[in-house]
Amino acid sequence: MSKTKLEYIWLDGYFPTQNMRSKTKVVNDFGGKLEDCEMWSFDGSSTRQAEGGSSDCLLKPVAIFPDPARKDGFLVMTEVLNADGTPHVSNGRATIEDEDNDFWFGFEQEYFIMDTKTQLPLGFPIGGYPAPQGMYYCSVGGLHTHGRDLVEEHADLCIAAGLNFEGINQEVASGQWEFQLFAKGAKLAGDEMWVARYLLDRLTESFGYYIEYHPKPLGKELDWNGSGMHANFSNTTLRTCGSREIYEKICEAFRPVVKEHISVYGEFNDQRLTGLHETASITDFSYGISDRGASIRIPIITVQKGWKGWLEDRRPASNGDPYKIAGRIIKTVKSAKI
């Protein structure tokens, strides 16, 4: 009889920024497939998802990946259901309307690596600041590059887990990094992003670090870039239309629903979306070809391929929920009158 460790991962009920929770289920003679994962439950009163008098919430497995850091282990992404089997109010995944996987998403996750002892980003001296940003972006060498050992190991773990991991780079501030994921299907894109975040957070436990997803952890008044999670997206229309007019109609569909998007694009995003540091103002809406200061950037490759490609919404914050972000983008694109 073989034993397998299944790590069930879910999002708690904290609002507006949810946290990952997980616990291990040891099973016998596991088949290795999603359908072999049973529904499980947890104490929702300890995660702000239920009252103590009726505390059981359900965990519905939705995606499974090998756990590269555990012998005979798997990572099981789940969504939270009420005891009656309906989606819990905290379940952003259930709001995605993409059953045919027509929408493809590529997320660019920025973050700061923080030292648990100093509570500062790597490379920041106690009581002061490192050299101004400029030399950190895509840098190499110990003077400006901090945390590569963690980042490289995280990349290896994600690839070994079977995630569609697409790249890494150091960002413009000291101790700030980014990784990229791509998936065909909005729900899978969200699943993979949350599992990648889980692997990153778990890995920090052995380094004496922690990950800061706050979009402006150094304060909005300082001249340092914040952290975002740019959302690159397409559907069949964007990938095949060959029409600037259609692209502009889709972009214009975003203009009247700025508040609806910002409401699910991450907490404290007003500190990041100031119109400075390669961002648009949180109250404005704009789009442009190759414009990194716009709300939505039309990639130059899309134009060069005859208006066949994708769009990039640059507004989502680094702490945003990819499920909710994707769900809102899909709703707006579908509303475009084309």
- Write out the chain in H/E/C secondary structure: CCEEEEEEEEECCCCCCCCEEEEEEEEECCCCCHHHCCCEEEEHHHCCCCECCECEEEEEEEEEEECCCCCCEEEEEEEEECCCCCECCCCCHHHCCCCCCCCEEEEEEEEEEEECCCCCECCCCCCCCCCCCCCCCCCCCCCCCCCHHHHHHHHHHHHHCCCCEEEEEECCCCCEEEEEEEEECHHHHHHHHHHHHHHHHHHHCCCCEEEECCCCCCCCCCCCCCCEEEEEEECHHHHHCCCHHHHHHHHHHCHHHHHHHHCCCCCCHHHCCECCCCCCECCCCCEEECCCCCCEEECHHHHHCCCCCCEEECCCECCCCHHHHHHHHHHHHHHCCC
Residue 4 has pLDDT above 90, yes or no: yes
Enumerate the CATH 3.10.20.70 domain ranges in the chain, comma separated. Answer: 3-91
Q: Per residue in 284-329, pLDDT tens?
A: 999 999 999 999 999 999 999 999 999 999 999 999 999 999 999 9
Q: Report pTM.
A: 0.97
Q: Judge: domain 3-91, CATH 1.10.8.10.
A: no
Domain 104-335: homologous superfamily in CATH: Glutamine synthetase/guanido kinase, catalytic domain (3.30.590.10)
The CATH 3.30.590.10 domain(s) of the chain lie at 104-335
pLDDT tens per residue across span 107-117: 999 999 999 99
pLDDT band at 334 (very low <50, low <70, confident <90, very high): very high
- Single-letter code of the amino acid located at 98: D
Residue listed under structure tokens 């740019």: 230
